[in-house]
Amino acid sequence: MRVLFVEGKNLDALRSLARRFRHPYRLLYRAEQELYVLEVWAFAPEMEAAAAALEGFRSWSFELLEEGLRA
């Protein structure tokens, strides 16, 4: 499964991107930097292209290698 991360300072733009597509996601926030990160799982290539087109945002995609569980 591929995971997409989109980083920026505009929460509304990230919410809008996330809601345009029907993929599971999480929105994260770091108050110290006023920074938001959108994390999306099992996304379509169109979503990655839309994220790359957002001005003022950075995005990365990764292949999920492993998930761990706490005992």
Q: Return the CATH number of the domain spanning residue range 2-62.
A: 3.30.70.260
**Cα–Cα distance between 21 and 3 in angstroms, integer?**
14
Segment 20-67, tens digit of pLDDT: 999 999 999 999 999 999 999 999 999 999 999 999 999 999 999 988
Cα 35-52-24 angle, rounded to 5 deg: 70
Stated pTM of the model? 0.89
For the chain, the domains span 2-62
Segment 53-66, tens digit of pLDDT: 999 999 999 999 98
pLDDT of the residue at 67: 86
